[in-house]
Amino acid sequence: MKRPLHLFACLIPLVASGCKDEVAPDPKTPASSVTAPDAAAGKTPAVETPKAPDSVDPSALPAGPDAPPKVVLGRIQTPVNAEVGQVVNVKEHFENGQLATERSERKEADGKYTRVGPMKAWYENGQLRCEGGYDERGKLTGHWRYYTETGMLLREGDFAEGQREGDWIEFHTNGQMRSSGLLHMGQAEGPWQYWHENGKPAAEGTYVNNLREGPWMFWDEQGVPDPARCGEYSKHNRIR
């Protein structure tokens, strides 16, 4: 269900002040990434999400396991001498002995391995960092969750064919909701909402092909509409 946009509360001060769109949101929509462990070297696939208002830019959020863990034991594979098509268990550890990642991989005919099935990654302090899964082709699939080093949920949602698909939610590190909306093939579609860290609404509007479209509302942390930003948008640019 599309949420109502109280546009008139914003347009009245906009008309009265004659404000121009000089401080409109940055039109560069992709701003943050959601990542999953991709190799012992720490390389990760990036999946972009729509840019929120400047004051609640989701790029400030930790993006999951996006840096290589300090692995001292390297890759521990069981069984070591796998046959082609066989699925093995893979573990990596931090220098302190804490488990860093655990996943399954399938040996291919060329000797390489493809990630399949569930996986988990941890921080060095033992807290769960993320959990999700890979499909038969090694692409992210199913439901994924990402956490802070203290165990707080940061974001969660589904992947399909390696792209974010369906409803995704993100949280501030204090547990307050940060954003909520739908993605299709990694692109924002339909109604989205953003909140400030104090729980008050920050922005509300609709995306079409990952671009703002139609009426958008923006509020400051006190709940006051921002006349320089809210209004009618077309292809991510404010037109009135």
Residue 214 CB: number of other CB atoms within 10 A?
Answer: 15
Question: Buried (b) or exposed (e) across 41-80, using 16+ Cβ within 10 A?
Answer: eeebeebbbbbbbeebebeebbbbbbeebebeeeeeeeee
Over residues 176-201, the pLDDT tens digits come to: 999 999 999 999 999 999 999 999 99
Exposure on the CB side of residue 171, measured as CA atoms within 13 A: 16
So where are the chain's domains? 8-63+135-238
Q: How far apart are CA 147 and CA 136, in angstroms?
A: 25
Query: What average pLDDT does this structure show over 127-146?
Result: 97
Dihedral over alpha carbons 11, 15, 17, 19 (to 10 degrees): 80
* The pLDDT of residue 70: 59
From 30-39, 158-167, 217-226, the region with the lowest mean pLDDT: 30-39
For residue 155, pLDDT over 60 is answered with yes
Secondary-structure breakdown of the chain: helix, strand, coil percentages, each rounded to the nearest 5: 5, 45, 45
Amino acid 229 reads: R
Q: How far apart are CA 42 and CA 122, in angstroms?
A: 13
Query: What average pLDDT does this structure show over 198-216?
Result: 96
Average pLDDT of the chain, as a whole number: 77
3 against 203, higher pLDDT: 203
Over residues 63-100, the pLDDT tens digits come to: 344 445 555 567 899 999 999 999 999 999 998 889 99
